[in-house]
Structure 1
């Protein structure tokens, strides 16, 4: 709820956060750039007072005679439909010298015969302002001017007539952009072309031009922008009226207009505006002659009549500049040196298309509703969800907020606040995760710390999802235990340096431990050259027997590969003996106050230890009990014997896992069939058949020690009389 409360304070203007406003601007800029059409608008042409023009015609300002020639060229030879000036003619043009000549005719040269008369004859040709005024008269021309704000409220030139009377606002305190000074065109030109518009943009707090006021206020009178004035000229100069909300639900103290309405007879056109009676500039693409949004024509080419006649027929023409020295380059969302004249071209294009994006007057209400819905959803949902689901819920809310905002932007042209909702959602998620980490996950971290040294990280990750289901308290469970002992370790310890022996032992343990952990096993302890592990606790695993057998096969193969490396390096080879048993065991945290460990105890554990010792006796690397074999499955087995180990009266069958069941070759399958027949003959005390079968087995696999062992047994037992009480088991009295 904290992020929601702060976001609502920002939205309501109680605690405005400049960072969120800047972020909203950045998001708007990104949306604008992503959705710009980036196509050429052939209706509008920009006549550019560029560097080329300054080099050919001369530095600015040019003589008004040049501008008169340029105007005549545009309307007479090029047949333009409308001309707008993004420059102001605030001072009289004295470049012809006419003023000085008149002073001389009335002063020191007044007695010069014919001088005053000659000056009078030259007056019409040397009065450049008059010539320019004549070229503007009765033509579709819109002049430009600017407003200023300073302490003294300086003014110059003649303003055009206001386009909307104060009385039309019905006393409502509309928040117009207001200025107290202006710089307009000289009276002679202003009367020749009475339609004019200001070209001031609105510069946001970050110095970026994003919008232009369509109407502005000066001394309680309301004037139109250059782009609106040109649009009105194109559509027949309709009257300008304020557009109030129509449903009558808004009080008279409401400080905004819904739109600027243009009325021509019975026809009306509503242009949506924001609370400053401004509209966002609908930028079409990157600016400048290479931007591709509008055609640029160098003013020098027009002055020099290098453009074919009729090239601009029916075009809307804007006269402006891209020359850096004339300081009409703006920072905009689509460029840091964007020609100011092109902002007006974009606005005119947007007015013609009826596609102006606007920040509506109800943006605050929209922002509050979105914040409340999204904030309450997260406030009530996040505490009830797991971390993964909390991420999903936050992403879903974020996607809904962004999706709704983009849909309104693309479909209705509405620019609505987004930053506060985004920051609120992300902050709420971050706080929830932080709370979960620092408060709720304490028990999970304790559990992870407790089991982390025994259990693979993957199992710890499963445990922390439901820490209450796990503890170190002792309990009885069916588990599978493994004892793995290295063969030849004692002999190696006598021949190797301690450090070298330590390195070798660590190398072996690292490989074996990685395999155990990869198969979800829990390391119980290391005992000299032996490692003990078990499966099925603390995380219950239904296939604990299968995983234990799989791990034992991989460990045996890993030792074989390690021995190949040792042979290359000249190091001693090692052997391995592994015993596996499944049964009920007591598992839990056991030990003294000085030292404790998470371990297993019980008869089933002792049997697993005994089986590991039998691996050497049978010449195999893995010995598995019958109980483990039954639950493991999916492997090819060779039964080794039935044994009765020390401390156990019950005989148990022991097996050797050869490989996964589908890995056996046909010859191995045949060998196992013969071996099964041999065991039946062996337990039936049919020694003659045993000899024949063993002969065949030793031919199939002459290197297998198991067949040599049983050959010796058969030879010994042949000397004994037939024993009807013998169960075929072998007794082992040593551990």
Structure 2
């Protein structure tokens, strides 16, 4: 968004005021759209995006205070700057507007010089906030971004019922030794693109990337009705995508890849770990370790997807699975029942 292209919504029940404010806004190089009351303004905001709102207070049907409250309750509108333009006097009213989220307050009649300064300042702040959101989305999933916007950043975690998926490329070291580093990076980037698409489609979030390995969380920070089912569906999607990808690789005489996937379900502690300067959204718990062990165990058996007993209980009605026996894993005192998800 540039200031010259900014779209301003003017909300005022007085026709003369709307005309005068529209002219002032357009003379400053902005686009202007008008609404004659708060209810109409809210309908417009939900239909199309605006860069800033100039809001009157005293209006029929829905006054300015009610509009500010509605915006405050709608997460999709939290980034909209609102400048109140009103003849309502009194410090308490001004404070109320600011408390409800207004960016600024201009008394009527609005001084053109002040209007120019306030519009420019508010739009610049919005531009910087939008850039921060864009940058954040490059390094975090949409679910984590939503959690940060709704709850804010705070180190620490909470107990949640979730499913953890570990995925790894089989024989990746051997593949990387047979080709140039540039080709290996290209292969990894394509692999990440394909896997992220499958994971995000099933509402999972990638919490860790190590080389060719991925750790994925289902059920946090946003809850899922059946995180185990989402994880198993994602695993099957990943295998199907890789199968198609390998056909293209074979046609181009490039290395094909195989996946090993381990999935475990249960209680974990999920949250932001690190420092105030650098942190990541992750989870810890026995189920995390178990999912990692299951993924590694796919190297020992002829099944690409291995799941634990809790995951099996959550998906057995819709997914055919085979019990491959209790398995002893490092770090677990008792043998663990392991199931293999049948793949086509």
Which TM-score band applies after superposition, normalised by the shorter structure?
0.5 to 0.7
Structure 1 residue 613 displacement after superposition: 0.7
Q: 1:562 aligns with which of 230, 245, 248?
A: 245
Q: 1:384 aligns with which of 69, 79, 101?
A: 69
Does the Cα contact within 8 Å between 1:472 and 1:598 map onto a contact in 2? no
| 1:656 aligned partner | 340
Does the Cα contact within 8 Å between 2:162 and 2:217 map onto a contact in 1? yes
| 2:319 aligned partner | 635
Structure 1 residue 604 displacement after superposition: 1.5
Structure 1 residue 505 displacement after superposition: 1.5
| 2:7 aligned partner | none
Q: 1:500 aligns with which of 178, 183, 199?
A: 183
SS at match of 1:478: strand
| CA distance in 2: counterparts of 1:562 and 1:523, whole angstroms | 21
| 1:112 aligned partner | none
| CA distance in 2: counterparts of 1:556 and 1:17, whole angstroms | 58
Residue by residue over 1:275-319, the C-alpha shift from the partner in whole angstroms, topping out at 9 and shown as x without a partner, is xxxxxxxxxxxxxxxxxxxxxxxxxxxxxxxxxxxxxxxxxxxxx
| CA distance in 2: counterparts of 1:532 and 1:575, whole angstroms | 17
* Cα pair distance change 1:468/1:502, threshold 3 Å: closer
| 2:193 aligned partner | 510
SS at match of 2:341: strand
* Cα pair distance change 1:570/1:387, threshold 3 Å: farther
| 2:139 aligned partner | 453
| 1:47 aligned partner | none
* Cα pair distance change 1:448/1:655, threshold 3 Å: farther
Q: How do residues 230-269 of structure 1 correspond to structure 2 at under 5 angstroms?
A: none
SS at match of 2:220: coil
| 1:474 aligned partner | 157
Residue by residue over 1:437-492, the C-alpha shift from the partner in whole angstroms, topping out at 9 and shown as x without a partner, is 969x97x997886676232x3x357547x713874422222221111110121111
| 2:254 aligned partner | 571
SS at match of 2:225: coil
SS at match of 1:640: strand
Structure 1 residue 521 displacement after superposition: 0.8
Structure 1 residue 499 displacement after superposition: 0.5
| CA distance in 2: counterparts of 1:435 and 1:463, whole angstroms | 25
| CA distance in 1: counterparts of 2:135 and 2:277, whole angstroms | 18
| CA distance in 2: counterparts of 1:391 and 1:534, whole angstroms | 25
Q: How many residues in Structure 1 have an aligned counterpart in Structure 2? A: 260
The answer to whether structure 1 residue 623 and structure 2 residue 309 are counterparts is no
| CA distance in 1: counterparts of 2:299 and 2:186, whole angstroms | 25
| CA distance in 2: counterparts of 1:513 and 1:628, whole angstroms | 21
Residue by residue over 1:572-618, the C-alpha shift from the partner in whole angstroms, topping out at 9 and shown as x without a partner, is 22111011111222222223577532222222111111100111211
| 1:404 aligned partner | none
| 1:533 aligned partner | 216
Structure 1 residue 372 displacement after superposition: 8.9
Q: How do residues 85-234 of structure 1 correspond to structure 2 at under 5 angstroms?
A: none
| CA distance in 1: counterparts of 2:58 and 2:251, whole angstroms | 70
Does the Cα contact within 8 Å between 2:136 and 2:145 map onto a contact in 1? no
Output the TM-score relative to the length of structure 1: 0.32
| CA distance in 1: counterparts of 2:161 and 2:298, whole angstroms | 23
Q: How do residues 425-436 of structure 1 correspond to structure 2 at under 5 angstroms?
A: none
Does the Cα contact within 8 Å between 2:261 and 2:306 map onto a contact in 1? yes
| CA distance in 1: counterparts of 2:331 and 2:76, whole angstroms | 56
SS at match of 2:332: coil
| CA distance in 2: counterparts of 1:513 and 1:591, whole angstroms | 24
* Cα pair distance change 1:373/1:447, threshold 3 Å: closer
| CA distance in 1: counterparts of 2:281 and 2:11, whole angstroms | 44
SS at match of 2:255: coil
Q: 1:590 aligns with which of 248, 270, 273?
A: 273
The structure with more strand, counted as a fraction of residues: 2
| CA distance in 1: counterparts of 2:333 and 2:271, whole angstroms | 28
Question: Whose radius of gyration is greater, 1 or 2?
Answer: 1
* Cα pair distance change 1:573/1:384, threshold 3 Å: same
